Structures are given as structure tokens and as C-alpha cells.
Chain A
Amino acid sequence: MTDTPLLKVSGVSKFYGSRIGCKDVSFELWPGEVLAIVGESGSGKTTLLNCLSTRLMPTTGSVEYRMRDGNFRDLYHMSEAERRFLMRTDWGFVHQNPADGLRMTVSAGANVGERLMAVGDRHYGKIRETASDWLTRVEIGTDRIDDQPRAFSGGMRQRLQIARNLVTGPRLVFMDEPTGGLDVSVQARLLDLVRGLVNDLGLSAIVVTHDLAVARLLSHRMMVMKDGHVIEHGLTDRVLDDPREPYTQLLVSSILQV
């Protein structure tokens, strides 16, 4: 890790009319770091994630990102063209429902290759080679390269979505409940895979989840949200083993034990 952060978030608030989406959130994210945002449904996790990933304009506050040239740019002062270019090259976004992040009617190979073609790759053979390489890395057989995602199982779709996002070598990946809707054994494999990829590629990631086990496995640091406010913030192991806020204590103690 270097001593300059990758993402600087200061005072981000989002109001839906008089209701609060998220309020006065500030933090910094360093390269190679995985940050988990946890909290119950309706606590503003996804609103915050959308504000950070330029999918939703925050009411106030600024989000600054360190570009590849080392300069910080305020995301909401960039042109839309620059923002969209950033989103499909330097960033990734993994949706909870793979159908939102994939093109369900084109083949797996084309799904992975889309970003490459979007940045100007025009050699079919090379695109296909890269695509099959990435399918192998996410444990999808290369014989499935010409199949459409609708022929895939939920776990495969999610892994395909991850491959599609990582193919351009992004530095920052946003994940919205990446394991939601998957059964437990598939979840475990997916988490294992994501953890391996994040380590290998030195990615930074912001993971939104209501599942504390996911946070424990993937993240270095975590933020606990309640009613739009960040109520506790610290190293994952510290927050989970020694929760300070009453709400966090409640959250940790309500994990089901088998």
C-alpha cells in the first residue's frame, strides 16, 4: 500500500426529499484495500455505493478519485464522457443480480470482451483469447465460451460478471451484495475466488453486504451503517470481535450459529 489514498470521500449526503439516504459520510480508501459497508436493509448502504460509483448524484459532498496519472479528480466535476470511460476501464461494478450487469442475450465470450471492444480492441482472435483466459480464471470451462449467460447457473453468472468487470484491469471494484441469492456452498466458492483475485491483482474494492461473514472473509476494514449514518468504522476483525456501538453488538450477536 502506498501513502496516497485511491478514493477520498468527504461529507457525502444523499436526501430523498426530506428522507435521508445517507448522511455525512467521509472516508478514504487506499490501493489494495477492501472496505465492507454493512448494515441492515434500508440503512443506506446501496445509496452510498451508488453515490460513490457515480450512479447516483449525491446531494452534497465530494468524491475524489486518484486517476492513473496520479492527480485527484472530483468525480462530479468530470464530464459525463470521462466518468463513463472511467467506469468501464478503471472501475468495475458487480451487481447483486447478474442479469443487471451482464448482457443476457450475447455469449459469455462477448460479455467478457465487451469492455475490450469498448476501449478499441479490434482483433477477434486476441479478444477471444483474453476472454477464454478470464473464464478459466473464474472457473468457467472454456467450452462454455459461446453459451449465453441464461444457460448458466446463478453462481456461474456471478463469476462471469466478475470476469467481465476485471478484464480491463480495473483498480477499483464496487460490489453490491455479490453473494446475495446464492446458496451457501456456492457463496463460499465465490468468496474464495474473489479473495484470490483481489489479492493477485492488488485491487481495491468496496463491498456492500448485510452478511457479516462476507465482510469477515473479504474485507480489511468495515463501516457499519444505520439509518443513513456511519455509526462505527474500523478494522474488520476489531469491529467484529470487539464491537463498540450497541447496534453493532446487536448485529454481531444476531449472526445465526449452527
Chain B
Amino acid sequence: MTDLATYNFAYLDEQTKRMIRRAILKAIAIPGYQVPFASREMPMPYGWGTGGVQVTAAIIGPQDVLKVIDQGADDTTNAVSIRAFFQKVANVAVTTHTKDATIIQTRHRIPEHKLAEDQILVYQVPIPEPLRFLEPRETETRKMHALEEYGLMHVKLYEDIARNGRISKTYAYPVKVAGRYVMDPSPTPKFDNPKMHRSEALQLFGAGREKRIYAVPPHTDVVSLDFEDYPFEIQTFDKPCALCGAENVYLDEVVLDDKGSRMFVCSDTDNCEDRREHGHVGAMLAPAKEAAE
């Protein structure tokens, strides 16, 4: 595909990129506001990150270094395919190291390594509307956003406490951005919500099927909704990562056999590998290492 007429850098044509960039600029200007945009068909099914891919395609340049994660992992199907896609259509450098990347496209996680101001985090969002399952009419939810009527969001949290004795929502936990718009942070675990608060990195959210883009500019307040007597809490884990011994990170549960044994490992694979390279050893890796020596 060297014919100029059929090739354009980063898959989308320039007019489409301009349209998406305009939507992104508007989204940055109004933190947390869902900007409609003319989402394009992408060479992958809806639900695979078409929104995130379009945002990435619109902002990526030849000098950028791209990292793609899926649930924190660099090596799952979704992450591998999207990374390969941009290698092919933009010929950009890719990495799995969080600190080397300039653009990180993510599905469901924020990397454990603190992001810096020259980095952009692009989220793939399935359902951008936080009020969707509370108020089915889109005309009404838009009005509620416009008039800042967010009582309903607390009704949902009230119900959680009434039924379960605590706020049981663990992912897509609603946040208020810059004291104005209530936003769905995409299905990230609520563990990651505090990382969004006054993050140095720019955060962009793309929902392809729903045709919405929204953003959290750097250093913006992102506050998780809660009650005075039931404050927001993040998940805690009893044990550290079984491979690298990391504490205070988000862990995935891995079932090992049909006899009930399981392990908890870092969800962020890059963070885990990095720690192991630096000599950190978790409980399950220690015996193997001793055996090798």
C-alpha cells in the first residue's frame, strides 16, 4: 500500500481527524461534558474500542510512542490487535512501558505508574452516560446534565446502601468533574478513581458506538460521589501480588485449578514485570526461584 491515494497516516482521513479534534478541544474546554461526534466505522466491531481508536488516530503523530492496555495487560487480544493496527497504519513506535509511552490507550485500567504531563490517556468507553440505567430517555438525561440535576445519581447510591449496607458499585463509579458535570469514568475499577483526580496527564474518553467524546484536562478535580456517612472507598486486597509482592495495587484473581486454589496478581502487567526485574519476588514465585538456583 504505497499508493498515496489509498494511504493516509493513522487510518482516518484528515477531514475526519479534524472533526474529531474539534470534538476533543470542545471536550477539554468543558471538562466532563459529553461532546457528540460523527463516529466512523472502524475495521473492528463496536465494543472493541472503536471510540478509543478514533481518538488515538486523531491525536497520534509520527513521533509518538503508543502503549495499549486491556484490563491493565499489554498482552491480551484487544491490546495486541490495536497496537498492531497502529503499527501498521501509522508506523509509530510502540512500547509496553508506561513511562516511555506518550499515548496510552486503555480499556478498564489506569496504569499503576503515575502519569506525567507529557502523556495522554485514551479510554475506550462502552457507555458514556452515567445516568443511562437510571433514566432511559436520552433527551431527559441531557437536560439533567444541562440543569445539573444529579439527585438521581445519589438515589442509585442510596439503593446500594439500603440493599447491601455499603456502596457496592465497584466499577464505572460516577465522578463529578471540576465541580460541574457528573461523568462515567468508563468501566475502570473504582480503585483507579483517585488517580484521575488532578492527574498531570490529559485524559480523553471515546465512545464509538454511542458517538460521544469527553475529557478531563490535566490538574482537574475529579471527585467520586458519596454520602457524608458512607464516604467513597477504594478496594483493598488482603495479600500482595503473588508474583511481585506489590501492595496497594489493583490485583486480578486467577483461578489455578478446580480445587479452589487461586492466586492474586497485578492487573498492570508492565508494573509487575518491572518490579520483578528489580528483584521483587512474590509468595508464589519465591519457591520457583529458589529451585532454579
Are B162 and A109 in touch, CB under 8 angstroms? yes
Residues from chain B with a CB closer than 8 A to the CB of A117 are 151-152, 154-155, 158
For the complex, what is the distance from the CA of A119 to the CA of B158, rounded to whole Å? 15
Q: Which of A95-130 contact B (CB under 8 A)?
A: 103, 106-107, 109-110, 113-115, 117-119, 122-125, 127-128
For the complex, what is the distance from the CA of A117 to the CA of B158, rounded to whole Å? 9
For the complex, what is the distance from the CA of A88 to the CA of B151, rounded to whole Å? 11
Are A84 and B151 in touch, CB under 8 angstroms? no
Residues from chain A with a CB closer than 8 A to the CB of B163 are 107, 146
A80 within 8 A of B: yes
Are A106 and B159 in touch, CB under 8 angstroms? yes
For the complex, what is the distance from the CA of A80 to the CA of B161, rounded to whole Å? 32
A81 within 8 A of B: yes
For the complex, what is the distance from the CA of A125 to the CA of B231, rounded to whole Å? 12
For the complex, what is the distance from the CA of A117 to the CA of B157, rounded to whole Å? 11
B228 within 8 A of A: yes
Are B230 and A124 in touch, CB under 8 angstroms? yes
Residues from chain A with a CB closer than 8 A to the CB of B158 are 106, 109-110, 113, 117, 124, 127
B227 within 8 A of A: yes
Interface of A is mostly: helix
For the complex, what is the distance from the CA of A117 to the CA of B229, rounded to whole Å? 14
Q: Which residue of B lies closest to A119 (CB)?
A: B151
B256 within 8 A of A: no
Interface of B is mostly: helix
Q: Which residue of A lies closest to B163 (CB)?
A: A146
For the complex, what is the distance from the CA of A119 to the CA of B227, rounded to whole Å? 14
Residues from chain B with a CB closer than 8 A to the CB of A107 are 159, 162-163
Tell me, rounded to whole Å, the shortest Cβ–Cβ distance linking B223 to chain A: 12
Are A122 and B159 in touch, CB under 8 angstroms? no
Are B228 and A123 in touch, CB under 8 angstroms? yes
Are A113 and B228 in touch, CB under 8 angstroms? no
Tell me, rounded to whole Å, the shortest Cβ–Cβ distance linking B156 to chain A: 8
B147 within 8 A of A: yes
Are B227 and A110 in touch, CB under 8 angstroms? no
Are A84 and B149 in touch, CB under 8 angstroms? yes
Residues from chain A with a CB closer than 8 A to the CB of B149 are 84, 118
Are A122 and B154 in touch, CB under 8 angstroms? yes
5 tightest A-B contacts by CB? A118-B151, A117-B154, A124-B227, A117-B151, A81-B147
Pick 15 A–B contacts, CB within 8 A, sort by A.
A88-B151, A106-B155, A107-B159, A110-B158, A115-B151, A117-B151, A122-B227, A123-B228, A124-B161, A124-B227, A124-B228, A124-B230, A125-B229, A145-B162, A146-B163
Q: A88-B151, A124-B229 are in contact. List 7 more A-B contacts (CB 8 A).
A: A107-B163, A109-B162, A117-B152, A117-B158, A124-B158, A124-B161, A124-B230
